Amino acid sequence: MKYYNLKDSQEKVDFRTATIKGQGKDKGLFFPESIPQFEKEFIQNLHQYSDEEIAYRCMKDFIGDEIPSEILREIIAETISFEIPLQKISDRISILELFHGPTLAFKDIGARFMSRCLSYFLKDQDRKVTVLVATSGDTGGAVAHGFYGLPDIDVVILYPKNRVSPVQEKQLTALGENIFALEVNGSFDDCQGLVKQTFTNEEINKKLFLTSANSINIARWLPQQIYYLLALKQWQKSEKEAPVICVPSGNFGNICAGLLAHLRGLPAEHFIAACNANDVVPEYLKTQNFKPKKALATLSNAMDVGDPSNFVRIMELFGQNFGSLKNKISGYSVNDEETMNTITEVHKKYKYILEPHSAVAFASMEQYLSENPGKKGFILGTAHPVKFPDAVEKAIKVKIEIPESLNDLMKKEKKTVEINSDFEELRRFLLDKN
């Protein structure tokens, strides 16, 4: 499988190069040259396959023989070594709980897969690699945990000061060793802008071997398809109709992976992009006018993105055809007040605790189902409620139990370097670090 640069289709690379480089010329994202189809028999009989086999079949066509199949199977076993249950909340809405991994967020799956692929590809290199990543919340913790202690890899994480939760911040900043956390005076979009600028800076690229671990990297983006298949396997046990799938959306890598799986043959009635006040995509779906905005700070901070970088991949999936896209995906914007009300109501009615991102998804799904009676579906639960104790405890008036693994982490000291959203400060840090 070759991958082409969405900004220059003449630039084509293999999976290894796309994983190591992160992005192509002119900050272009890589995209698979063809969309491998699932066999009908496979999709109709998922219950007959183990989760590992499903994940392996999902990924192998994208990698070919670049990773031997026995190594790829090991990588996959480590990637999904925790449960990913589909739980019923109400008669019409279930939730896929993607927060049972080491950092209690859905990004554990992509980060674990990518870190192990990168480690495999670098084992014969004599250069140290610097993984540069911007985070609006959960990416940084998942990447830090995924790469922690791996030889010949440094990780530099940029996150917006005062815009991540205390648990998220500790997951980014408490590990040390090969993990470096930079606290940026600015927004997530500023952090992402600095990362993109670094990749085009000749001086830094001559001295450092850089790659990215955001969902712009295909080795982080593609494995997110896996859990859509694992959800369908569980869905098929009790349901005949295809589900409506509602995804909390910020940078749009997660829903883009779901749409890719769908175009390969995964049954889905419809997709919903559930956004907070950062409503660039819902507005685009109404007006056909894509207008990036400055990111607004909200309770669902991992979705505080004003210029979602994966949206170009979604447009490519649909051949730049607005009509095809609009038939398959709806967008909803949910404000903080509605988010809090949803957490309160769902706990009161169903005894289920949502955190802000999954609450945005639940509210969006309710709205869609009220307009489309007779449909059912599931939302993606992208983070554990304990990561957002202030909002959740205020909404449900109950203290959340902290898992044992987090107790130890919260006692650790925060190790960060504070910088302004100024490229010169980041440049100095990167060159001095080495």
Active site residues: 107
| Selection from 43, 17, 6, 25 nearest residue 262 by Cα | 43
**Dist CA 322 CA 328 (whole Å):** 10
Backbone angles phi, psi at 250, to 5 degrees: -125, -70
Q: What residue ranges in 161-217 does DSSP mark as E strands? A: 179-185, 209-212
Q: How far is CA 342 from CA 86, 242, 352, 366, in A?
A: 20, 25, 11, 10
| Selection from 275, 328, 268 nearest residue 305 by Cα | 275
Q: Is the dihedral of CA 78, 80, 316, 33 positive or negative?
A: positive
Q: Is the dihedral of CA 316, 210, 122, 155 positive or negative?
A: negative
* Radius of gyration for the chain, computed over Cα atoms and rounded to the nearest angstrom: 20
> Please, what's the b/e burial string for 71-92 (b: 16 or more CB within 10 A of its CB; e: otherwise)?
ebbebbeebbeeebebeebbeb
CB 302 within 8 A of CB 359: no
